[in-house]
Amino acid sequence: MFDVIVCGSLHLDIMLHAPHLPRRDETVPGHRWGQQAGGKGGNQVVMAARAGARTAMIGRVGDDDFGRHLRAHLDAAGVDASCVGVDAAAGSGMSAAIVQDDGDYGAVIVSGANLNIEPARLAAIWRGLGGARVAVLQNEIPEAANIAAARAARDGGAKVILNAAPARSMTADLLDRVDVLVVNRIEAAMLSGCDDPLAALPRLAAPGRAAIVTLGGEGLVLQEAGAEPLFIAPHKVSVVSTHGAGDCFVGALAARLSRGEALYGAAEAANFAAARHVAALAWGADMT
């Protein structure tokens, strides 16, 4: 049995560094560019592995250089990639992200093979991997795949984390199988109809489901069913880039929950990991 299995997206990210995001019809001279393995699913499983969890990835890539790069990245991180399928018909997912000088960014994704994950096969794949203590899902793959993965995970006794990003309407068939819902403030507002994260929490949490709203440099708020909302303060750091901070949080949270830690303590540790990530500090580095 694994500690954490992530079912989700794999993208190769093309990172463009520029003074600011372009306005309409504007061409902005950039500083540099590079590429890195990404996708919310890929980021989260690697972060969980770095946090000490035994991890596996369920996903799909194209039969192309991007796909080979993504699988090699998972292998190098110690993630079991045996259930990352290769799609002969669709190209690998990719994104183009522009990172501003202040660390904020914007991105465009092209999902490609991620949209071809087959829901009918997910129960057998989950059983073949031997299951996990925690399953992690996101909204960069079709909802039918998320529902099938959540059902298989719950049937196997796993706790299910859904990072509902990007925000979209979701059926009760999925939400009723989620133990921890993680969103940022924009996604919380879209899903709840409330701009105030504290007001959104009771609408996002439900019997048997906790909700966490991450607030970037302002920390986060969380609520477990039947309990009062709790605030976790931010760590003050010099931001290098916010790219991937939410995925770092989710991966670290999953790793902690897989060890049986309570949600509040796991969220505190994940908040620290995300702060370290945006400051580009090495894992294991001290941070005051």
- Write down the domain spans for the chain: 2-21+32-278
Identify the pLDDT of residue 261: 97
Identify the pLDDT of residue 288: 33
Identify the pLDDT of residue 243: 66
Kindly list the catalytic residues: 247
Buried b (16+ CB within 10 A) or exposed e, 215-232: ebeebbbbbbeeeebbeb
Of 191, 286, 159, give the one whose Cα is nearest residue 235: 286
Identify the pLDDT of residue 282: 47
Identify the pLDDT of residue 241: 65
Identify the pLDDT of residue 187: 94
Helix (H, G, I), strand (E, B) or coil at 93: strand
Identify the pLDDT of residue 242: 61
Identify the pLDDT of residue 188: 94
CA atoms within 13 A on the CB side of 178: 29
Angle between helix axes 245-258 and 263-278 (nearest 10 degrees) is 150
In the chain, count H helices and then E strands.
9, 13
CA 46, 105, 63, 160 torsion-angle sign: positive
Identify the pLDDT of residue 7: 98
Rounded to a whole number of angstroms, the CA Rg of the chain reads 18
Of 12, 203, 44, 222, give the one whose Cα is nearest residue 135: 44
At position 94, the amino acid (one-letter code) is M
Pairing state of beta strands 2-7 and 132-138?
Answer: parallel
Pairing state of beta strands 80-87 and 55-62?
Answer: parallel
Of 148, 118, 120, 154, give the one whose Cα is nearest residue 135: 154
Q: What is the total residue count of the chain?
A: 288
Of 217, 146, 135, give the one whose Cα is nearest residue 180: 135
φ, ψ dihedrals at 222, nearest 5°: -140, 155
pTM, entire model: 0.90
Q: H/E element holding 109?
A: strand 105-110
Task: Give me the residues of the chain with pLDDT under 50, please.
Answer: 282-288
- Architecture of the domain delimited by 2-21+32-278: 3-Layer(aba) Sandwich (3.40)
The DSSP output letter for 209 is B
